[in-house]
Amino acid sequence: MLVSLRALAPSLTRITIAAAVGAALHIGQGNKEIVDRKAVEFSRAIFAQMDVDGEIICCEGPKDDAPAFSHREKVGTGRGPKVEFVIDPVDGTTAVSKGRKDAISALACAPKGCLQVLPDDGYYFKVATDWHSKGKLSLNMSIQEIVETVAGQKGKRLSNLTVIMLERERHRQILKTLRDLGVRIILIPDGDIAASVVTCIPNSGVDLLIGAGAGPEATIGATAVKCLGGTMLVKVWQGETDDPQRLERLKAAGVDVEKTYYEEELAKGNELVFAASGVTKGELLDGVRFIPDGAIVNSLCVRLPSGTFEKSETILRFKGHPVYKEVV
């Protein structure tokens, strides 16, 4: 399995490249449905070519009735390693439809039973940062304590620390606290997978992710964070307007609503791959650029056990391509 999964990494990047191109064809057109549909359609075509016995255990989208892979959808030729995927063909569909930044296509891949996905029912509070603060953080800490701990571990003044978070009404009080502390803040319209990953990229200039987002993205982000040696903490978000029945649903689904889930639990084991490609320009990756006969796509792939981190630029030629032939 080890050799096969490592050899699989370049093919995984091809999946996110295809999804990114499919989505990018419709940037700014105001149609979220076609953005998701084309991303799924293009990436499914790449999956069909892969020699794996694969299964999609979760795909972001079904709860919003958006086009998506089916739960437990079988992918690959059936030959090769048995692996599972958690995929978000477009993390930031709204951003793509409005021509905004920070949208990516991303997936996590691991042997069967290694990826835990929290139910896509409401939001989860997330904190992510690099190796400096591994083992130093707790979600019992206040926002101020978390920020001060990360700054201290990295040897930075608060005024030089950069926090990234989704621009959402639910984050109003967190944002006020961050501004009172005097840290630098990057507010993004969508895409907390990329936001969690960029905190672990050396010299990215982004130090800490804070905020509430969806469950499948937590597993994908945690896979990347673990591969990069960072830390991610995730807990059920219990906001002021939370639906009390939601907590009962989560408990019935086996979620401990008081527990903090770490990257080690969401992405178990030592055989993991994370792949992502940029759809629109963002903090983590540049967006798709179309050229006369194709496109240029920026991607990254990280994996364990090696900890290898690869960034790449792919130049696609559409003419005659089995996946992109309809584009030209």
Cα distances from 53 to residues 74, 111, 298, in angstroms, run 8, 10, 27
pLDDT of the residue at 2: 44
CATH number at residue 238: 3.40.190.90
* Residue 225 counted as domain residue: yes
* Residue 327 counted as domain residue: no
- Looking at the fold, whether 135 and 246 belong to one and the same domain comes out as yes
- Looking at the fold, whether 28 and 107 belong to one and the same domain comes out as yes
pLDDT of the residue at 33: 95
CATH number at residue 279: 3.30.540.10
Place of tokens 């030959």: 79
* Residue 106 counted as domain residue: yes
- Looking at the fold, whether 292 and 228 belong to one and the same domain comes out as no
Taking alpha carbons only, the member of 68, 65, 69, 67 closest to residue 56 is: 69
Out of 242, 266, 290, a domain closes at 266
Strands 261-262 and 53-59: what pairing? unpaired
Residue 3 CB coordination number (10 Å): 8
**In terms of pTM, does the model score above 0.85?**
yes
Torsion angles phi and psi, residue 252, rounded to 5: -65, -30
* Residue 293 counted as domain residue: yes
User: What is the four-CA torsion angle of 175, 176, 177, 181, rounded to 10 degrees?
Assistant: 100
pLDDT of the residue at 327: 73
The tens-digit pLDDT sequence of the chain (328 residues) is 444 577 788 889 999 999 999 999 999 999 999 999 999 999 999 999 998 999 999 987 666 667 888 889 999 999 888 999 999 999 999 999 999 999 999 999 999 999 999 998 889 999 999 999 999 999 999 999 999 999 999 999 999 999 999 999 999 999 999 999 999 999 998 889 999 999 999 899 999 999 999 999 999 999 999 999 999 999 999 875 567 788 999 999 999 999 999 999 999 999 999 999 999 999 999 999 999 999 999 999 999 988 888 999 999 999 888 888 777 5
Tell me if 223 sits within 8 A of 203, measured CB to CB. no
SS3 of 133, please? helix
- Looking at the fold, whether 239 and 304 belong to one and the same domain comes out as no
- Looking at the fold, whether 129 and 174 belong to one and the same domain comes out as yes
* Residue 326 counted as domain residue: no
- Looking at the fold, whether 6 and 28 belong to one and the same domain comes out as yes
- Looking at the fold, whether 180 and 134 belong to one and the same domain comes out as yes
- Looking at the fold, whether 146 and 93 belong to one and the same domain comes out as no
- Looking at the fold, whether 105 and 190 belong to one and the same domain comes out as no
When divided into structural domains, the chain yields a total of 2
Out of 227, 248, 266, a domain closes at 266
Domain extent at residue 109:
2-114+270-317
